[in-house]
Copies of this chain bind each other. A is one copy, B any other.
Amino acid sequence: MRKIPFLVVVSALISACGGSTNETPAESNEAQAMYVPEHEKGLLEKATRFFTALPSRAESTENPLTDEKIALGKTLYLDTRLSKDGNNSCNSCHGLETYGVDNKQFSEGDLGKNGDRNSPSVYNAALHFAQFWDGRAADVEEQAGMPILNPVEMNIPSEKFLVDRLKGIDTYKEMFKSAFPDDSDPVTYKNLRYAIAAFERTLITPSAFDDYLNGDENALDKDQKKGLYDFIEVGCITCHTGAGVGGNMFQKFGLYGDYWELTGSKVIDEGRFKVSGNEAEKYVFKAPSLRNIEMTSPYLHDGSVSDLSKVIRIMGKLQLNKDLSDEQVKSVLAFLKSLTGEIPSGANS
């Protein structure tokens, strides 16, 4: 899934065929070695202050990952019987083959009704410090059980309803037994949550940026490096840091202006205020992870903007009080594309 830029391919083919370019590869490398732009000096070291490479899995002491649990979780994740009328699986809104989203503004639930927030990606979600746009679940173990019981989403009437349904399916009885071998009655709602979460903890998408963070300075091209530099200097790292490049904190959306004035949002979502009733949390959302952002349009909590360049410009204005130049937007966009990762082999087979 990691893309090789067209020009690199052409250039490699020309070299392989003995075709000549203006410079020999040796000269080109030498010239490159001689000139290092000012902003690239110490950039990797600076980057490691803000970001860490993705782990291979999001381990949990509370929910140790076993092959059996992960396999059960994946089966559940893909099973439409987890919705009342059988129209939705977890995968319907968080498609494993489409970077963990459905690319719709709002997803359609079991009854054909739409939710009111954009479905966030399941990839790398286990690394977030809290789940949902408003962080109302602490971790994927808690989160996994909630859409199933939400009338607008999977519409299962009760935990018991689903447990009874699963107990009527022999495969599940066996899979739960091997995933939770110490339990005398392993088919429980809690175990279902833990199995789905265990699977989600394997959904990690390393990208060129991780190679860079792991020390390969050539993993990013010069535009991506300039973009990384701008991303840091402009101040995006105030909220987008860590392995997820976001997903670590809450922040008010619209510090320097009403967000709906720039996003054109038709409904004004008050964010965490709806959960906490705390005035200070009005319009406060989780700062989202930017992993795979190139592939997960439309953007923002309400999917109100589809153009990523526009989102970058809006964030500069609303969060940093800055009118980003066209060049800065292009540059940050180049960096963001380095966050497009590889979908793990176990996820979509």
Query: Is there a chain B Cβ closer than 8 Å to A348's Cβ?
Result: no
Query: Is there a chain B Cβ closer than 8 Å to A174's Cβ?
Result: no
Contact with B along A217-248 (1 / 0, CB 8 A): 00000000000000001010110011110001
Q: How many residues of A contact B (CB 8 A)?
A: 27
A252 to chain B, nearest CB (A): 7
Q: Specify which of B244, B276, B280 is in contact with A280 (CB 8 Å cutoff).
A: B244
A242 pairs with B50, CB closer than 8 A = no
A319 to B235 Cα, complex, angstroms = 9
Q: How many copies does the complex hold?
A: 2
- Give the chain B neighbours of A252 by CB distance below 8 A: 241
B235 pairs with A321, CB closer than 8 A = yes
Within 8 A of B (CB), among A279-309: 279-281, 284
A278 pairs with B129, CB closer than 8 A = yes
Query: Is there a chain B Cβ closer than 8 Å to A250's Cβ?
Result: yes
- Give the chain B neighbours of A242 by CB distance below 8 A: 279-280
A133 to chain B, nearest CB (A): 16
A238 to chain B, nearest CB (A): 6
B233 pairs with A280, CB closer than 8 A = no
- For A320, give the chain B residue with the smallest CB separation: B235
B241 pairs with A280, CB closer than 8 A = yes
With A233-B321, A250-B249, A251-B249 as contacts: A280 and B238 at CB distance below 8 Å:
no
Query: Is there a chain B Cβ closer than 8 Å to A52's Cβ?
Result: yes
B238 pairs with A255, CB closer than 8 A = yes
- Give the chain B neighbours of A278 by CB distance below 8 A: 129
- Give the chain B neighbours of A249 by CB distance below 8 A: 249-251
Within 8 A of B (CB), among A107-131: 127, 129
Most buried by B among A238, A250, A276: A238
- For A127, give the chain B residue with the smallest CB separation: B280
A241 to B253 Cα, complex, angstroms = 13
- 12 new A-B contacts, CB < 8 A, other than A241-B280, A248-B280, are A50-B255, A127-B280, A129-B276, A129-B278, A129-B280, A238-B319, A241-B255, A243-B279, A243-B280, A244-B280, A248-B284, A249-B250
Interface residues of A (CB under 8 A from B): 50, 52, 127, 129, 233, 235, 237-238, 241-244, 248-252, 255, 276, 278-281, 284, 319-321
